A and B are shown apart, each in its own frame.
Chain A
Amino acid sequence: MVDASWYLGLAALLFLIGSAGLLTRRNALVMFMSVELMLNAVNLTFVAAGRSVGNFTGQVSVFFVLVVAAAEVVVGLAIIVAVFQKRSTASVDELSEMKG
């Protein structure tokens, strides 16, 4: 029998991989995908914990996370495209105008 702790462990592993990608990659698109990976890991935690506790709050939380993630992706990708049109790069290391 697979209980919820297995799913929580898998979600923690996915979250770790996503955060490692966010910290090590320079391509803004891949960093965004790592953020999506972390959000998905949290969603798995919500669903698994919600089922083992026995109420719907986990699934409702996943619904809200999903909507906010979709909004975030829309605005973020629009910003990446706008920056790319101006600078023709997607690397976050080269965007340093705001450095003091």
Chain B
Amino acid sequence: MEAVLFVVFGAVAVAGALTVVMARNPVYSALGLMATMFSLAVFYIVHLAHFVAAVQVIVYAGAVMTLFLFVIMLIGVDRAEDISENLPFQKQIAIALGVVVVALGGVLAFRGRFTWVLAPSAGADPAATNGTIQSVGRALFGVDPTGVVGQTAGWALPFEAVSLLLIIAAVGAISLAFFRPLRRRGGDE
């Protein structure tokens, strides 16, 4: 069952990723990215990360992609992209370096020793990583299941820092949208 899910939604994810990169029309790129995000949400549910899956669909596939589509509609989609290169031999060098990177990755993947990341830590229960809202919240704020605060290392300070970051981003976006730049008088454009 998991293998079927992996093959089907893995194919959807890779096809969506290729659409993002290769589509000439940015709207198709956005839709391909949305397909990739939905199939990743399926993988998160397979991994019992229910909260992350829901947030992936709501925030990424919902809010972020809506924002992308709005901006695409705003600035127009029909501009042909210039694909000429400025640097000499850029394409050949890029292809050679890409082959080197893929070869190195293959050597690492098939000859390296990566079992350390795949081995469960001692006494780990796979069902213990059932990522419901309650369990992710407890992990986030360092509350153990009996309700005692501060027994385990939490993420409360990064959480607050991230909320500050969100406020700064919202204020920055609003100021970018509201305050027009001063027109230069020189006419040097």
Binding site for B on A (CB under 8 A): 1-10, 12-14, 16-18, 20-21, 23-27, 29-30, 32-34, 36-37, 40, 43-44, 47-57, 59-60, 62-64, 66-75, 77-82, 84, 86, 89-91, 93
Contact = CB atoms under 8 A, between A and B. Distances in A.
Contact of B75 (A14, A16, A73, A90): A90
A89 B169 CA distance: 24
B44 to A, nearest CB: 6
Q: Is the interface of B mostly helix, strand, loop or mixed?
A: helix
A26 B129 CA distance: 41
Interface residues of B, number: 75
Which residue, of B14, B26, B126, has the highest number of chain A Cβ atoms within 10 A? B26
B105 A29 contact: no
Contacts of B140: 60, 63
Interface string B99-120: 0001001000100001001111
Contacts of B8: none
Nearest to A56: B139
Give the secondary structure class of A's interface. helix
A10 B162 contact: no
Contacts of A47: 43-44, 47, 49, 52
B63 to A, nearest CB: 7
Closest CB pairs A-B (n = 4): A54-B124, A21-B21, A71-B169, A56-B139
8 contacts: A8-B117, A20-B21, A33-B33, A36-B64, A51-B49, A54-B128, A60-B140, A74-B172
B121 A53 contact: yes
